[in-house]
Chain A
Amino acid sequence: MKELLTGNEAIARGAYEAGVEFAAAYPGTPSTEILENIPKYKEIYCEWAPNEKVSVEVSVGASMAGARVLTAMKHVGMNVAADPLFTYAYLGVNGGFVIVSADDPGMHSSQNEQDNRYYARHAKMPLIEPSDSQEAKDFIIEAYDISEKYDVPVLFRITTRICHSKTIVELGERKNVGVKAYSRNIEKFVATPARAKVHHYELEEKLKKLEEYSNTTFLNKEEINDSEIGIITSGISYNYAREVFGDSASYLKLGFTFPIPKEKIINFSKKFKTIYVIEENEPFLETEIKALGINVIGKEKIPICDELNPDIVREALLGEKTDRIEIVKEKVVSRPPTLCSGCPHRGIFFELSKRKDTVITGDIGCYTLGSAEPLNAMDSVVCMGAGISAAHGFAKVFEKTGRKTKVFGIVGDSTFFHSGMTSLLDIVYNNSNVCSIILDNRITGMTGHQENPGTGYTLMGEKAPVVSIEKICEAMGIKNITVINPNNLTETKNALNFHTELNEPSVIIAKWPCALKRFSEEDKKQFDLSVKKYKVNPDKCKKCRMCTKTGCPSISFDKEKGASIDINTCIGCSVCYQACPFGAIEKVGEENV
């Protein structure tokens, strides 16, 4: 049977067909839909872990116990997970272990575009790169065989355009490999220095065997045409190369890219006058191929920064530009992403934006958009957890220099569970005057609404204990914790005022469900989520634009007519209603006559 699947859907399917028994991940674009597609395969146990490191560690345990396991994450998630990975590469597996890294060249939804192929070389793990959904499914099945045969975890590297492109996949049946036997094996699985020394020698031997495999596997294949140009490429770049050169070049398409197939590359290169290496971002293959003494053209022509497409490859290597229509620049205004209509983060950022002399350290999530126009209420965003820990650094330096600026650290609920908790612990332990604001919108928002330890449900749809952020903060020793409804501006402002005056670690929990969330029964009981509508009374509007400073996409402003609210998209959060100094915004159905 043929289906149109994204790369992420295909990986989930491949895991199912490969007989995977256990899967874990933390959501992160562009990897999220891999695990989201696992629950439909009832044979697989799956879960959202609180962060990528935990996800890898539970997967390590499951692999030791004898199951084939899948763990998936976005590229920066692998930085979080690196610790267990490097050592598990030494130890080797029991059940096959595959870790998927979804890299984001072009940074569609990321803070950097690191090339995680280097992790394979760094951690000494074999590396597989599919170029479309069919390969994603087929290659992952092969990945489990490699993992078990060579006794190593395997890195399966994909990129945004593989993850989120739908291509045709021929489905197969599930292999019932079952769960392997487990019995205690201290020599293999306990990484003490003396044993790790032995493991390192063993791993080097495994890599030699994997290089032999690399030279013979079907994952690395030649496509020879009558040409003077030979192209060595991998992943999505193969498709761009085919698109540009068609049958006018020959290809060495690499699906297994660490260890590289040295012999195969040398033999291929001898056949052609010119060799191009086409790869996105870093010269991962190019550096290794040049080290073989082969003269290739790569990054001297193909850009390192940003993602590739056929256009860029064509221009870089052939110097040809396609005909195109010029944009009339004055007819286009930028359209950056914004907080949605009714977003519960708006109230808090609106109030923060009005405060003078503050530092606001942000974090990764929808609330990063608090840094956007017109709110501009953020000083920094680095990585998950840094919203809280960077605040501590700021506060300590300010304390040292006598600067009175209040520091607010921002983090979301899921991000708090991910790595904000340890950051808050540092604030308490080393005592800084930081007010941490936890934006608890009852869901993992940016990645498209995944459950987390605070939502009361698991990835498999089962009920789970609702972990209380408030009680965690209390247990850590925070004395002043204020829970607010961030849609209530007075409540929000009062809380900010109170916590500004404190000279101790403190916490504000802004609790209101994401406007786009499918509300749970608990949400409906706890919050008034009925849809209301607001409108502008044009007779009262003084055209002061205060409502537009909330950055709500439902509000527009006309110099002649003043403000207006799009009734179709307003969900009645009432932030603009409270922001208007002239009472010109009225609740539909309760207009002042």
Chain B
Amino acid sequence: MSKVKNILLVGVGGQGTILTSKILSTALLDAGYDVKMSEVHGMAQRGGSVTTQVRYGEKVYSPIIGKGQADILVSFEVMEAMRWIDYLNPDGDIIVNNYSINSAPILSGKAEYPSGILEELSKKAKTKVVDAFKTAEELGNIKVQNIVLLGALVKKFKLDDINWEEAIKNNVKPKFLEINLKAFESGKEL
């Protein structure tokens, strides 16, 4: 429990990174860790690139990390993984949702969505590609792709012994609980 662990979640405004970090943080708190979590609100949420950081350990000071310090980078979108890769510890892991969202310059035809990002990521760091969007779509609600990714993160980071069901229950509306729990389990299997 000595070394502070750093999780960086990145995505596009509206993808549910903040809710995921919230579930992650409350569960880690209940598991007895000191936890700090940092998120960004306001202008950046309007379809921009968003990040949240979760740090936990025996004693955490800074709520944010610098470059090269994330133990794991969970990217909700393909290009965002590359945008934030310099925050990853070179020995760290990447979990990337196999899902692309075009940004404004691409939509307006000023740029093209870059190809071959997943291959580049794999060359740079240990990368696991997860079909979270597809899984969520199959479950019947694309919004739960964030919880699919949470499942994948829990598996990769070996955090299975924490009571995730309780944390999810406390953070989602009762009518969406079942699908979120299914999404979580599916994520662990991907």
What is the interface of chain A, defined by CB distance below 8 A to chain B?
Answer: 2, 4, 29-30, 32-33, 108-109, 132, 160-161, 164-168, 236, 238-240, 242-243, 309-312, 314, 322-328, 330-340, 366, 368-369, 372-374, 446-448, 545, 548-549, 551-553, 555-557, 568
Selected from B44, B64, B66, B112, the residue in CB contact (under 8 A) with A337 is B44
Q: B142–A568 contact, CB under 8 A?
A: yes
Tell me the complex Cα distance, A224–B158, Å: 38
Tell me the complex Cα distance, A409–B105, Å: 27
Q: Mark B87-98, 1 if CB is under 8 A from A, else 0.
A: 111100000000
Selected from A243, A332, A446, A548, the residue in CB contact (under 8 A) with B82 is A332
Chain A residues, CB < 8 A from B60: 167
Q: A309–B62 contact, CB under 8 A?
A: yes
Chain B residues, CB < 8 A from A337: 13, 43-48
Q: A336–B63 contact, CB under 8 A?
A: no
- Beyond A327-B85, A333-B106, A335-B103, is A322–B142 a contact (Cβ under 8 Å)? no
Instruction: Mark out the residues of chain B between 19 and 76 whose CB falls within 8 Å of any chain A CB in the assembled complex.
Output: 22, 25-26, 29, 34-49, 60-69
The 10 closest A-B pairs by CB, nearest first: A311-B66, A109-B42, A29-B42, A324-B68, A165-B63, A322-B68, A337-B48, A335-B103, A374-B108, A337-B46
- Beyond A240-B62, A322-B68, A332-B79, is A165–B38 a contact (Cβ under 8 Å)? yes
Tell me the complex Cα distance, A431–B37, Å: 52
B12 close to A (CB within 8 Å): yes
Q: A333–B39 contact, CB under 8 A?
A: no
Q: A324–B83 contact, CB under 8 A?
A: no
- Beyond A324-B90, A325-B85, A333-B106, is A4–B48 a contact (Cβ under 8 Å)? no
CB proximity of B179 to chain A, nearest CB, Å: 16
Q: A164-B39, A322-B69 are in contact. List 6 more A-B contacts (CB 8 A).
A: A109-B41, A165-B64, A240-B61, A309-B66, A325-B90, A333-B103
Chain A residues, CB < 8 A from B89: 323
Q: B79–A333 contact, CB under 8 A?
A: yes
CB proximity of B55 to chain A, nearest CB, Å: 10
Q: A167–B36 contact, CB under 8 A?
A: yes
Q: B41–A448 contact, CB under 8 A?
A: yes
Q: B61–A242 contact, CB under 8 A?
A: yes
B125 close to A (CB within 8 Å): yes
Query: Which one of B113-121, B148-156, B180-188 is at the A interface?
Result: B113-121
Q: B108–A331 contact, CB under 8 A?
A: no
Interface size in chain B (residues, C-beta < 8 A): 63
- Beyond A109-B41, A168-B35, is A331–B117 a contact (Cβ under 8 Å)? yes
What are 7 A-B contacts with C-beta separation under 8 Å?
A161-B38, A240-B62, A324-B86, A324-B88, A331-B117, A332-B83, A556-B106
B111 close to A (CB within 8 Å): yes
Q: B47–A340 contact, CB under 8 A?
A: yes
Q: Mark B1-31, 1 if CB is under 8 A from A, else 0.
A: 0000000000011100000001001100100
- Beyond A243-B61, A314-B66, is A108–B44 a contact (Cβ under 8 Å)? yes
In the complex, which residue of chain B has the Cβ closest to the Cβ of A372?
Answer: B104
Chain A residues, CB < 8 A from B63: 132, 161, 165-167, 236, 239
Q: A369–B46 contact, CB under 8 A?
A: yes
Q: B114–A166 contact, CB under 8 A?
A: no
Chain B residues, CB < 8 A from A2: 29
Selected from B38, B107, B114, B120, the residue in CB contact (under 8 A) with A551 is B107
CB proximity of A365 to chain B, nearest CB, Å: 10
In the complex, which residue of chain A has the Cβ closest to the Cβ of B91?
Answer: A323
CB proximity of B172 to chain A, nearest CB, Å: 17
Chain B residues, CB < 8 A from A548: 107-109
Q: B62–A556 contact, CB under 8 A?
A: no
Tell me the complex Cα distance, A339–B79, Å: 20
Selected from A108, A322, A325, A332, the residue in CB contact (under 8 A) with B125 is A325
Q: Which of A164, A238, A239, A339 has the most CB of B within 10 A?
A: A164
Tell me the complex Cα distance, A447–B46, Å: 11
Tell me the complex Cα distance, A545–B36, Å: 45
- Beyond A322-B67, A324-B67, is A108–B43 a contact (Cβ under 8 Å)? yes
Tell me the complex Cα distance, A30–B67, Å: 24
In the complex, which residue of chain A has the Cβ closest to the Cβ of B45?
Answer: A337
B110 close to A (CB within 8 Å): yes
Q: B114–A333 contact, CB under 8 A?
A: yes
Q: Mark B108-141, 1 if CB is under 8 A from A, else 0.
A: 1111111011001000110000000000000000
Chain A residues, CB < 8 A from B42: 29-30, 108-109, 446-447
- Beyond A108-B43, A309-B62, A325-B125, is A335–B90 a contact (Cβ under 8 Å)? no
Selected from B69, B85, B104, B117, the residue in CB contact (under 8 A) with A336 is B104
Selected from B40, B46, B67, B85, the residue in CB contact (under 8 A) with A108 is B40
Chain B residues, CB < 8 A from A448: 41
In the complex, which residue of chain A has the Cβ closest to the Cβ of B85?
Answer: A325
In the complex, which residue of chain B has the Cβ closest to the Cβ of A569?
Answer: B14
Chain B residues, CB < 8 A from A549: 108
CB proximity of A143 to chain B, nearest CB, Å: 22
- Beyond A243-B61, A548-B109, A551-B104, is A335–B68 a contact (Cβ under 8 Å)? no
B102 close to A (CB within 8 Å): yes
Chain A residues, CB < 8 A from B85: 325, 327
Chain B residues, CB < 8 A from A168: 29, 34-35
Chain B residues, CB < 8 A from A109: 40-44
Chain A residues, CB < 8 A from B112: 333
Tell me the complex Cα distance, A201–B113, Å: 65
Tell me the complex Cα distance, A323–B105, Å: 31
